[in-house]
């Protein structure tokens, strides 16, 4: 029997609540399938670790998880620590050195969930956003000079490499080809950003030639926000820069009903390093410790993890279990307007896993 080694990093805020729910569900999945199991190692990195050690994760931290099959991540962010420290010290400190350059964010309106877009039902909205996850606006290039003085200058330089752009656009075309619609929308801002974004467009045109069976179009990021709201059915697979996709994926989560549902995969497609799976909601300190965090984002991220591990039938079964549970309003947490608790949703999904016989 195959044993997958998973590194669980709950992080801060509701991270530990949703990750323990996720781990329970993964073990239940393994029991249900009977062909694989999980060995889950927990790492207590994050804000509390920082308060004790002055760093978000140990210096040799990446060596401790490098040989795991996948990473399940909760969230990073702490009310007493500046956000740029928590982000760069943990999440980006894993994503970037592990070259998880493809950040994949599916959006669908799951059964039982109502979109704030009046007319949109489930099937009209089925998107996957591919976020460039290794460079661009998050390259970390820049600095501050004359700190605190009137002359102070601060820069954040967006870095785009031809290789980096090519690999993410190619990844997105491949993903688009694997989906029924075979359509890719390339998000850009080449009217205002006349260097890197113009190269981005050129690379898209070049790579598109390798995918004659995929149709594609190009849209400016500001116009994209309008299109997502007004014509959601016109979109399928979407590729955008690190910052553009960061913003668009929050909009996507909102139109799909709740940020509490949205999943992410940070993929190293070449599999030289482990990939990392996480809900996109963040730490949510306002509800931490109350037992009401929505674990669906973590469960859906676990579906993506199972797919990445090659366990497609198990992934499909877990997704159906999730959809069964979202379809029943008794299992809606407060972010969805319900009163269910994390434990109720978890129990519901576990029951659906065992009940499913397909």
Indicate the residue among 221 and 325 with the shorter CB distance to ligand IPM: 221
Dist CA 179 CA 95 (whole Å)? 26
Of 287, 277, 284, residue with least CA distance to 91: 277
Dist CA 30 CA 34 (whole Å)? 6
Dist CA 124 CA 112 (whole Å)? 15
Of 262, 138, 120, 237, residue with least CA distance to 187: 237
Nearest distance, CB of residue 64 and ligand IPM, angstroms: 23
Nearest distance, CB of residue 246 and ligand IPM, angstroms: 4
Nearest distance, CB of residue 322 and Mg ion, angstroms: 22
The site map against ligand IPM for 236-265 (x = CB under 6 A) is ----------x-------------------
Nearest distance, CB of residue 109 and ligand IPM, angstroms: 20
Return the residue matching tokens 């329970």. Answer: 24
Nearest distance, CB of residue 88 and ligand IPM, angstroms: 9
Angstrom CA distances, 65 to 15, 95, 182, stand at: 18, 12, 35
Nearest distance, CB of residue 87 and ligand IPM, angstroms: 4
Dist CA 201 CA 328 (whole Å)? 44
Residues 326, 327, 332, 336, CA torsion sign: positive
Indicate the residue among 12 and 344 with the shorter CB distance to ligand IPM: 12
Nearest distance, CB of residue 224 and ligand IPM, angstroms: 16
Dist CA 320 CA 185 (whole Å)? 28
Indicate the residue among 87 and 159 with the shorter CB distance to ligand IPM: 87
Query: Considering CB distances under 5 to 8 angstroms, the limit depending on partner class, which of Mg ion, ligand IPM, none binds residue 229?
Result: none
Residues 191-250 that bind Mg ion (CB under 5 A): 246
Torsion angles phi and psi, residue 134, rounded to 5:
-130, -10
Residues 244-283 that bind Mg ion (CB under 5 A): 246
Which residue's C-beta sits nearest to Mg ion?
Answer: 246
* Residues that contact ligand IPM, how many (by CB under 6 A): 4
DSSP 259-282: TTT-EEEEE-TT-SS-EEEEESS-
Dist CA 31 CA 21 (whole Å)? 16
Of 62, 6, 59, residue with least CA distance to 30: 6
Is 99 an interacting residue with respect to Mg ion (CB under 5 A)? no
Indicate the residue among 20 and 107 with the shorter CB distance to Mg ion: 107
Is 132 an interacting residue with respect to ligand IPM (CB under 6 A)? no
Dist CA 309 CA 223 (whole Å)? 36
Q: Which of 282, 295, 338, 348 binds ligand IPM (CB under 6 A)?
A: 282
Query: Considering CB distances under 5 to 8 angstroms, the limit depending on partner class, which of ligand IPM, Mg ion, none binds residue 126?
Result: none
Query: Considering CB distances under 5 to 8 angstroms, the limit depending on partner class, which of ligand IPM, Mg ion, none binds residue 87?
Result: ligand IPM
Query: Considering CB distances under 5 to 8 angstroms, the limit depending on partner class, which of Mg ion, ligand IPM, none binds residue 353?
Result: none
Grouping H, G, I as helix, E, B as strand and the rest as coil, residue 20 is: helix
Task: Give the count of alpha carbons within 13 A of 138, CB side only.
Answer: 21
The site map against ligand IPM for 79-98 (x = CB under 6 A) is --------x-----------
Grouping H, G, I as helix, E, B as strand and the rest as coil, residue 211 is: coil
Nearest distance, CB of residue 329 and ligand IPM, angstroms: 28
Is 280 an interacting residue with respect to ligand IPM (CB under 6 A)? yes
- Residues within the interface to Mg ion (CB under 5 A): 246
- Residues within the interface to ligand IPM (CB under 6 A): 87, 246, 280, 282
């Amino acid at each position: 029997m195959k044993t997958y080694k998973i590194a669980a990093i709950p992080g801060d805020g509701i991270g530990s609540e949703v990750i323990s729910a996720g781990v329970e569900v993964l073990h239940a999945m393994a029991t249900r399938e009977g062909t694989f199991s999980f060995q889950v190692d927990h790492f207590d990195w994050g804000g509390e670790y920082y308060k004790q050690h002055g760093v978000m994760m140990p210096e040799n931290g990446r060596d401790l998880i490098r040989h795991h099959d996948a990473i399940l991540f909760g969230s990073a962010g702490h009310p007493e620590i500046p956000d740029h420290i928590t982000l760069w010290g943990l999440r980006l400190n894993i994503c970037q050195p592990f070259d998880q350059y493809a950040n994949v964010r599916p959006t669908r309106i799951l059964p039982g969930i109502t979109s704030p877009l009046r007319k949109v039902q489930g099937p009209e909205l089925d998107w996957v956003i591919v976020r460039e996850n290794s460079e661009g606006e998050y390259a970390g290039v820049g600095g501050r000079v004359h700190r605190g003085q009137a002359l102070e200058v601060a820069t954040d330089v967006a870095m785009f490499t031809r290789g980096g752009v090519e690999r993410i656009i190619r990844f997105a075309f491949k993903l688009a080809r694997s989906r029924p619609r075979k359509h890719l929308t390339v998000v850009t801002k080449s009217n205002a950003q006349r260097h890197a974004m113009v190269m981005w467009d050129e690379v898209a045109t070049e790579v598109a030639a390798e995918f004659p069976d995929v149709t594609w179009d190009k849209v400016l990021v500001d116009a994209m926000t309008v299109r997502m709201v007004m014509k959601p059915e016109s979109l399928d697979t979407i590729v955008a820069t690190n910052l553009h996709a960061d913003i668009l994926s929050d909009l996507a989560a909102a139109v799909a009903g709740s940020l509490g549902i949205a999943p992410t995969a940070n993929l190293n497609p070449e599999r030289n390093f482990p990939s990392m799976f996480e809900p996109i909601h963040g730490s949510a300190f306002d509800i931490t410790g109350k037992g009401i965090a929505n674990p669906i984002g973590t469960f859906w991220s676990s579906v993506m993890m199972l797919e990445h591990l090659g366990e497609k039938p198990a992934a499909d079964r877990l997704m159906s279990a999730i959809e069964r549970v979202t379809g029943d309003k008794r299992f809606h947490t407060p972010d969805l307007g319900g009163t269910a608790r994390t434990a109720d949703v978890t129990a519901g999904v576990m029951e659906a896993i065992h009940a499913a016989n397909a």
